[in-house]
Amino acid sequence: MPGFPPAPSSRSLALAELAAYDVSAWFGTHKVLDRVSLTMPAGEITALIGPSGCGKSTFLRILNRMHELVPSASMAGEVQLDGEDVYAPTRKLTDARKAIGMVFQKPNPFPAMSIEQNVLAGLKLTGTRASKDTREELVQSCLTKAGLWKEVKDRLSAPGGGLSGGQQQRLCIARSLAVRPRVLLMDEPCSALDPTSTRVIEETMLELAEEVTIVIVTHNMQQAARVSSRCAFFLAAQGTPGVIIEHGDTPAMFGAPQDRRTADYVSGRF
């Protein structure tokens, strides 16, 4: 089977729609998601909100096949990227992880590696061999897209671990972009950052959304309202697996939620 359709040009990233159909998930016999369906439209930012433990991170990891790294984990349902089955038996695992990148809560650059080497680290995953000129171009373009270029262009050989937390998170975004993903999943990317760094990352996300579909998990309702155009509210009632209670356009979810539980959550009542 061929890989996912390539980006239209080698310079730009490509917009793609990600969709989950009837996704359920288990750790051993513990069911943590029940038949979750959600379309994450191309070029938009979709926010996943909901209390801790309702399966948001598990859902993200199912989207890019990281869930299967946990030995006890299993899932049912389908994930499609632009209509193609991410879980097709013939599809290479690395294909899915390349097409659908992930940024985590805690910035995790390789601390001893230079800033430049951090950006290029993802290329090993793709087995891409690039000339020195191409590599330099890629480093500059990814750091620019991640909003970090101006701050680091004079010290590309300095270790990634020497950057501030917010800069490290943007370096991780640049590293994800280097393999030209179609989708970027961000699991509470600002939870470990101060308000100023958070604002910078939000601005970066809004610019990136023109080139890559973004799905962000956040506990910050103001952040969801500021950055996302679509929103899904996850909830796991006592002892039951997580489900989506409501999803839709962000202004409607915050302004006129249909379900009382959504209204309570977005207004901070639980």
237 binds ligand ADP (CB under 6 A): no
The residues in 65-84 that bind ligand ADP, with binding defined as CB under 6 A, are: 70
Question: Nearest 5°: CA angle at 134, between 132 and 140?
Answer: 105
54 binds ligand ADP (CB under 6 A): yes
Nearer to ligand ADP among residue 239 and residue 268 (C-beta): 239
Distances (CA, A) of 136 to 72, 115, 131, 143, 207: 41, 12, 9, 11, 22
Of 47-55, 84-92, 114-122, 149-157, which segment contacts ligand ADP by CB under 6 A?
Answer: 47-55
Quote the least distance from Cβ 229 to ligand ADP, whole Å. 21
Strand partners, 27: 30, 73
Phi, psi values for residue 136, rounded to 5°: -65, -40
Of 15-23, 55-63, 134-142, 169-177, which segment contacts ligand ADP by CB under 6 A?
Answer: 55-63
57 binds ligand ADP (CB under 6 A): yes
Round to whole Å and give the CA distance between 187 and 52: 12
Map residues 49-68 to x or -, x wherever contact with Mg ion holds by CB under 5 A.
Answer: --------x-----------
Q: Which long-range contacts (CB under 8 A, 24 or more apart) does 127-136 make?
A: 128/179
167 binds Mg ion (CB under 5 A): no
**Residues sharing a CB contact under 8 Å with residue 239, sequence separation 6 or more, in sequence order:** none
The residues in 10-39 that bind ligand ADP, with binding defined as CB under 6 A, are: 27, 32
Residues lying near ligand ADP in the complex (CB under 6 A) are found at: 27, 32, 52-58, 70
